[in-house]
Amino acid sequence: MPAKTYLITGASSGIGAQFARSYAARGCNLVLVARRLDRLEALAAELRERHGIEVLPFAADLGKRESVQELLIYLKLSGISPDGLVNNAGYSLAHTFAATTAQQQLDFIEVCVTTPTLLVRELLDHMLSQGYGRIINVSSMVAFSPGASGHTLYPAAKAYMLKFSRSLAAEVADKGINVTALCPGSTESEFQHSNGMDAVLKTNPARFVQTAEAVVEAAIRANEAGREVIVTGLFNKIAVAAMTLLPDGLITPLIRWGAKKYQLKE
């Protein structure tokens, strides 16, 4: 059974909004977090109406530590103890390292690495005390890549989410807590648009792009089954197998050639 109350970050669009829909359909109550409150409120109203569940929309900039603290204090004062967490909020800096500022880089690390770690830390004790919890950390298939020019920090952040999830799973799997790193490939969402990469979307063949629903349903099934890692979609599974199994001297030039189309002109 899924957890009773899920906190989902980045629920205002794409994969996060789909997590909200999929858990709502399973009768779970939700705390939905992102910056765009109007989007969260509209989704909350829809899900309350359709499924008769409780949904709390909460506006927070997860790149700001004080905003995360406000969320945690609000939950405590409201007596809400999530027993499910989906660390989904994320984006990419679609440039080379030298073309982004230190502040942009630190903000990215805060949203994609530090805040997810902090949320797990803050919510884990309740899960441990009740002997039950569900955690999904949204990584990416690029967690397996050898890295390429452009999006410099993105594979590093996603590799962190993958390794963090696996180590945590090793510690809490026998305590009733399932931890899963979700590693999708190209997925229908606002990701490319948010990262200023609409042009790239046009060149991605549709057969390689999964729906958010397909990705999320695979993630929930994997998490409920206690799987530590789920790479969604056949093409992505083949690509990850190649990145993992082929010799570095072969796969690295291939990946770096392929990644050129995801690099913005500077």
Looking up tokens 């205002």 gives 12
Q: Which residue, 164 or 191, has its beta carbon nearer to ligand NAP?
A: 191
Q: Count of alpha carbons within 13 Å of 51, Cβ hemisphere only?
A: 19
Whether 154 is catalytic is yes
* Strand spans (E) along the chain: 5-9, 29-34, 55-59, 84-87, 133-138, 177-183, 229-231
Site map (CB under 6 A) of ligand NAP, residues 97-126, x = contact: --------------x---------------
35 binds ligand NAP (CB under 6 A): yes
Interacting residues with ligand NAP between 158 and 217 (CB under 6 A)? 184, 186-187, 189-191, 194
Calpha distance 146→263 (Å, rounded):
16
Q: Which residue, 100 or 130, has its beta carbon nearer to ligand NAP?
A: 100
CB atoms within 10 A of CB 254: 13
Q: Which residue, 175 or 227, has its beta carbon nearer to ligand NAP?
A: 227
138 binds ligand NAP (CB under 6 A): yes
Q: Which residue, 5 or 262, has its beta carbon nearer to ligand NAP?
A: 262
Q: Which of 74, 91, 132, 154 is catalytic?
A: 154
Q: DSSP string covering 182-205, please? A: EE--SBSSSHHHHTT-HHHHHHS-
Q: Which two tokens stand for residue 68?
A: 């995360």
Point out the residues that are catalytic.
154
- Residues near ligand NAP (CB under 6 A) are 10-16, 34-36, 61-63, 88-91, 111, 138, 140, 184, 186-187, 189-191, 194
